[in-house]
Each structure stands twice: as structure tokens, then as C-alpha cells.
Structure 1
């Protein structure tokens, strides 16, 4: 019996329900294992139901109770993902006696995410925001300062001979990557309406995929993962709803392709089709239509789809631009700049703005530029009013934005033409998977930067032409022959 069959047997014997006449599992080219429609599926059809008792989380694992909840919190196991990682390690160590043994055996043990790339491969990501978000150092700090001391302090739960087998740093990274790529954010109690936090550049600590309220209810917020199992703040507790959800995590996702979503009921979670699915089509879940940088970081793949301009890439690609690039262009006083940036952050601004594929200058960047350019008197008035400057795209701001984007583009060690030629020449056949995916991601970001730069330069040329036209017109009015002749005629008549 293969791994999928064993998983399905375990799932159904444990109370799960699946419509096996409609849903099957197979391996797709470039997607790996995923779900397929075995026949035409109508919208609103329940594909499978997962009892809440099958969810694997810090709420369902027996480990926190065995440790003692006070000791669990004292060791800060409730912060970040370290507690859930330890639960998954411990459940794995229990072997067949663990309720989730068959499920854990079905999960991947290797990943194509940059967390596992070597230094040479990571060089391919230079200039992108991916490397800075891996959180590898933070993860290793959590392992050494939280998880390992807990494991070593309780030999009754973690026998010494099991530590080098089940509780190593390598396995810690594997478990963290499983959470990052496959977990869901599941509400514990009765569904409540949440504010929508879904966004292309969201980096809050959360889950890989979303769970919605029942179709007749208001949808819940989408939780996106942050750097691998890292704490975001010492005061922030682990989102208790982050759970591993058997079977649901076998669905793949692709930009704009979602045709099924996970909805939660009081006693179970239900994967429901959100549109008709034809026989033979893949059943897609959603990651929130993320850019390739985030897809690569979290899941180890990139989306390559037709774009409106005829190119191939991810329609959701974005470019992150740090505030220090604007500071560098404006060359403002360090003390003054720090004071203003601190105030900007207090006002809800961010130190990173996002350039999207619509090629529009981010309003936040324009506001930040105006803030940094304020005179001392204007600065005092802004603080007094407790409001950041409104975005304004004048000729001076255009020049600053242009310089900022040129600096951002220069952070990549290769040009867009270099990357495009390499991808065309190799056609992806002789490149390693990691290099090819990094190349596709870089190309998407550089296209946005270069196209936005071209748009800005065109705006500058138009503004210059209009100004020149106005200046020329003004000079002509001063010396226009007929006006001069008229003045002379009037003089003579007098």
C-alpha cells in the first residue's frame, strides 16, 4: 500500500470523511503531489471533512499537559512556533502510539526552500528581500535557548537516547518548514468576524494557508507565515490556532487558480469547491496570491503564468523598497532623519514600501519623501497636527523616486537583460531548480522596477516639455512683434 492510501485509510478510520468518487490524489508535472477532480464537481460541493480532533496543534497534542502548562509558559514555549515544533517532534518520537503517526509519516522531509540552500545558491537571491526573511539565526536561537533546555530537563518525556534521533537542529528546521508551508490558521471557538489582513507583502507570524468561515458566514482573515518559526516579539504569543490539518495540506496552490477553500464548522473543517471543477482538473487551494519571492521562501516554488504584456511570470509579483534608500538619496542629517523615521513608524508607517505590478509610485513612499524634505517649521507643524504629510508627486518628488528606484535596481548583481538572456539560452533545462527559480523571481522584480522607471522618466520628460513650452510662450509674449508694434503705435498717437 502506498503512502497516500495509508494516509487515506488512517484519515477515514479516524473519523474523517472524503468523497472518493470526486477527489483523487496524483503527481502533477511541476507541482508534485496534489488533488485531482475524478469527475465534474459543482460549486459548493464538500470534498472532505476533517474532525477537529485530527488537527495537530499545541491544543490537541498531549505534550503541553504532560510538561505542565505553567512550566510550558515559563519556558516560553507558547511564543512563536517552537511549542508546535516540539509537539510535532514528540509525536513523531512516539511512533505508532501517536495518534498522528501515519500523518506525520506522510509529510515531506526535504524542501526546496532557501532555508536549505547552500551559500553559493543563496548568492542567486542577492538583491531580493528573501534572504533577510529566512530567520535561520532566530530559529537556531530558539532551538538552543528554548527547545533544547526543555528537552534536556525532562528525561521522563524525552529520553536521552532519543534526543540525537528526534530532537536535532536539522529536524527542528524540517518541522518548522512543514509548519511554514503546510499549516492553517484555525479559530478555536465560535466563528467571529475578523478584519481582512490579507496582503502581498504581509509578514505577520501566522500560518501558511487560510481557513474561512462557512460559506453563509463572513470570511475570516488570511494568516500568512513569517520567517521560519521565529518570534516576532517577546510579548507576542504563539497564535493558538496555527494547526497542521491532515489531507487539506495536500492541495497545491497557484496564483488566481483557487477553486476550493477550507471552511470551519463547530466540529469539523470542510474543504468545499468554490467554483465548478471539471473532471481531470487540479483542485487548487489558495496561499493568498503571493509574489514569487514569498512563494519561493515559504513553499519552494514560483508561479509562471501568462502576463498581460505577453511575458511569463507571476501577476502578483512586487518589489520591496526600504526607507533607507530614500534617506540615502536625500542625504538628510542623521539625527534629524532618525527622529523623523521614528515618528513615521509611530504614526503607523512602515520602513518598507511595496512597488506593485501596476507601476504606480507607492503613496507611502511619496509621504515619506515629503516628510524627510520638510523644513524645520513644517516638521514642527506636522508633529503638532499629528499627521504625516499627504503624498504628492511633484517634479522634485519624481526625481527622488527615480533615484530611489535606480538604487534599488542596482542592488541586484545582474541586469534584467542578463537574466532574461540566461533563461532564454538555457530554457530552464540545464539550470538547477534553485537557480532557475531564483532567476524567474529576480526577473519578475526587475521588470517591475525597470518598467516603473521608464514610466517615471516619461513623466519627467513630459513635465520638462510642458515647462519648456510654458517658458517659451512666456518669452514670446514679452517680445511678440504685434504687441511691440501696438505699443509703438499708441506712443505715436500720443
Structure 2
């Protein structure tokens, strides 16, 4: 019996419900294993139900209770993903005695994500935001300072002879990658005590800042338009995010077998009181793949989290990801303006952050200049007197995009483009090389997508500057006849 068949049998004998007449699992070229419609499926059809007891999390595993919840929190195992990773490691060691034995056996053991790339391969991602977001150093710090001390302190739970086999740094990264690529943000059961319910808002799954793979929506009877409304961001880098308790981050058997592709979602996971339900969100034809959603992420995030990229037709006829973005740091604006007063600049940046601003702004494929970038540039260009008045008003400058600010934006984008080690044309030409390794090809796709946005935005600004210059010239020409008429009138009056 193959792994999938064993998983499905385990799922159903453990209380899960699967419509086997409608849903099958197969391997799709270029996508790997995924779900397929075995017959025409109408919108709103329940494909399968997962009992909450089958979710694998730090709340459902017995390990935290065996260690002692006070000790668990004292060791900060409830912060970040380290606790869930340890639970998954421990459950793996339990073998068949673990409720999730068959599920854990079905999960991937290797990944193509940049977390496992060589230094040379990571060099291909220079200029993108991928490398800085890997969080590899922070993850290894958690492994060394949190997980290993916990494991070594309880030889009754973690047999010494198992540590070098099952509790290694390599397996730690594999478990973390499983969570990053396959976990869901799950809303807590309403019957749980309030103090354990996490931070929830309007009933939507909490803790989305921790960057798990997919979100769970509200029950259908509560909303019919919830698909894709939940937004999640990653939190590998932010220290404050690391202090949050990811009580809703769970591994969800079967649901994590669905693939995703840009703007292709036709199924969504909804939570009910006793279970989670994968429900079709539109009609699905027999033979079509059943797609979940990752939130239409840019290729940089798809590569970082899942090890693949999306290439779909763009309006200009090329292939790319319409969700691609370019991240621009505040440092670039500071470098372009060259204020010369580091202390004063730092003061303004600190104030900007206190006001809710960010040190990174996002340029999207619509090529609209980010309002936050405009506001930040105007803040950095204020005179000393203007700066004092702004602080008194306790409001950041309005994002007014005049010609002077537009010139700064232009320079910022040009500087951002130079952060890549190669040109757009070079990358496009290189992508035609069929002998490229998969990782290098993926890195090229990410770079090209970002450079396409930057170059298009720069061209757009050039056009705006030319229009502004024409407008200035037109206004000057219009004033001359009036001025001449005024002079003639004065002569006649004399």
C-alpha cells in the first residue's frame, strides 16, 4: 500500500470524512502531489472534514503536558515555532504509538526552498528580499538556546540515544520548513477557556503574523464572502512577532496536500465548532486540479516558503507573477537625499517608526508610487523649523507627490535597481539557457519579475516628468501674451 493510501485510510479511521467519489490525489507535472476532481463538483460542496482532534499542534500534542505547562512557558517554548517543531520531532520518535504516525510519514523529507540552498545558489538571489527573510540564524539560535536544553533536561522523555538521530539541527530545519509551507492558522474552539483563546479579531484566525502557509476562514453560515479575505505576513525577522504565541498554527492533515497557484483558488478551508471543512468555492470540472490559496503571493515569497514560482500570462504578453512586488528600504531614500546629519536623520526615522511608519515600503505591479515612500521623503526633506512643527502636530507629512519628490523617487528606484548584480536584459537572455539548474532558474524568475516592476516604474516616472516639463513650458508661454497685452495697455493709457 502506498503512502497516500495509508494516509487516507488513517484519516478516515481516525474520524476524518472524505468524499472519495469526488476527490482523488495524484501527481501533477510541475506541481507534485495534489488533489483532483474525480467528477464535476458544484460550488459549496464539502470535499472533506478534519476533526479538530486530528490537527497537530502544541495544543493537541501531549508533550507540553508531560513536560509541564509552567516549565514549557518558562523555557519560552510557546513563543515562535520552536514548541511545535519539538512536538513534531517527539511525535515522530513515538512511531506507531503516536496518533499522527501515518501523517508524519507522509510529509516531505526534503525541500527545494532557499533555506537549503548553497551559498553560491543564494548569491543568485542578491538584490531580492528572499535571503534576508530566511531567518536561518534566528532559527538556529532557537534550536541551540531553547530546544536542545529542553531535550537534554528530560532524559525520561527524550532518550539520550535518540537525540543525535531525531533532534538534530538538520531535522529542526526540515520540521520548520514543513510548518512554513504546510501549516494553517486555525481559529480556536469557542468552548476553550478565554485565557487560552489567543488574540482573535472578529472571529478570524489569529496569529497570522507568524507566517504559516494558509489561513482558515469563517463558517459558511457566518459569511459567504470570506474566501481569501484573511491576509497573512511572515514574521521570521521581527523580534516582536517572535514574542507572539502561535496557538493557532497547526498542521492540518489532508488539507495540506492541496496545491496553490495565482488566482486559481477553487477550494477553501473553513472552520466549524468541531471540525475544519474543505469546501469548493466555485464549480470544478472532472479532471481539474483542486486548488487552495496561498494569498496570491509574489514569487519571492513563493520561493522562500514553498520552493516554487508562479508563471502566468501578464497583460503585456510575457509570463510572470501579477502578485510580484519590490521591497524598498528607507535607507535608500536616506542615501539619495544625503542629509549629512546622521543623528538628525536617525531621529526622524525613529519618529517615523513610532508614528506607525515602516522601514520598508512595497512597490506593486500597478506601478503606483507608494504613498508611504512619498511621505517619508517629504519628512526627510523638511527644514529644521518644519521638522519641529511636524513633531508638534504629531502627524507625518501628507503624501503629496510634487516634481521635486518625484525626482527623489526616481533616484531611489534607480538605486534599488542597481542592487541586483545583473541587468534585466542579461537575466532574460540567461533564462533561455536550458542547461540551467532548477535553483538558478527559480532565482532568475524572481529577479526578472522584480526588475520588470522597477524598470516599468522608472519609465512611468520619466513620462510624468516629461509631462510636467511640458506643463511648465505651456504655462510660461501662456503668460507672455498676457504680459505683452498689459504692457500695451499701459502705453495706450499714457
**TM-score band, normalised by shorter chain:** over 0.9
- Partner of 1:436 in structure 2? 441
Tell me, yes or no, if structure 1 residue 445 matches structure 2 residue 454. Answer: no
Note the 1:2-401 alignment, pairs <5 A. Answer: 2-190=2-190, 194=202, 204-218=209-223, 219=226, 221-227=230-236, 232-233=239-240, 236-332=243-339, 333-401=341-409
What residue in structure 1 maps to residue 195 of structure 2? Answer: none
Matched, 1:460 2:465: yes
Q: Could you tell me how far 1:471 is from its partner in structure 2?
A: 2.4
Distance 1:409 1:197 in 2: 37
Query: CA 1:397/1:303 → structure 2, altered by over 3 Å: closer, same or farther?
Result: same
**C-alpha contact 2:205 2:216 (8 A) present in aligned 1:** no
Structure-2 separation of matches of 1:83 and 1:184: 16
Shift in Å, 1:394: 0.4
Number of aligned residue pairs: give it: 481
Q: Does the aligned pair in 2 maintain the 1:212–1:264 contact within 8 Å?
A: yes
The answer on whether the counterparts of 2:210 and 2:241 sit within 8 Å (CA) in structure 1 is no
Q: Report the aligned-residue RMSD.
A: 2.0
Kindly state the Cα deviation for residue 488 of structure 1 after the two structures are TM-superposed: 5.0
Distance apart, 1:487 and its partner CA: 5.4
TM-aligned CA deviation for residue 376 of structure 1 = 1.6
In structure 2, what is the Cα distance between the partners aligned to 1:295 and 1:431? 20
**Shift in alpha-carbon separation, 1:206–1:103, aligned structure 2, 3 A:** same
Contact 2:185 2:205 in 1 (8 A): no
Give the match's secondary structure for 1:149: helix
CA drift of 1:197 comes to 10
The answer to whether the Cα contact below 8 Å between 2:185 and 2:208 also exists between their aligned partners in 1 is no
Please tell me whether the aligned partners of residues 122 and 131 of structure 1 are also in contact (alpha carbons under 8 angstroms): yes
Cα deviation for residue 462 of structure 1 reads 1.0
Farther off after superposition, 10-19 or 236-245: 236-245
Q: What are structure 1's unaligned runs of at least 5 residues?
A: none
Contact 2:205 2:215 in 1 (8 A): no
Contact 2:181 2:305 in 1 (8 A): yes
Q: Give the stretch that moved more between structures: 206-215 or 251-260.
A: 206-215
Structure 2 residue runs of 5 or longer lacking an equivalent are 192-199
- TM-score of the two chains, using structure 2 as the length reference: 0.94
User: Which segment drifts farther, 202-211 or 263-272?
Assistant: 202-211
CA distance in 2, matches of 1:150, 1:487: 94
Partner of 2:194: none
Shift of 1:222: 3.8
Superimposed CA distance per residue, residues 369-424 of structure 1 (whole angstroms, 9 cap, x where no aligned partner): 1111111222122111111111011010010000000000000011111111122x
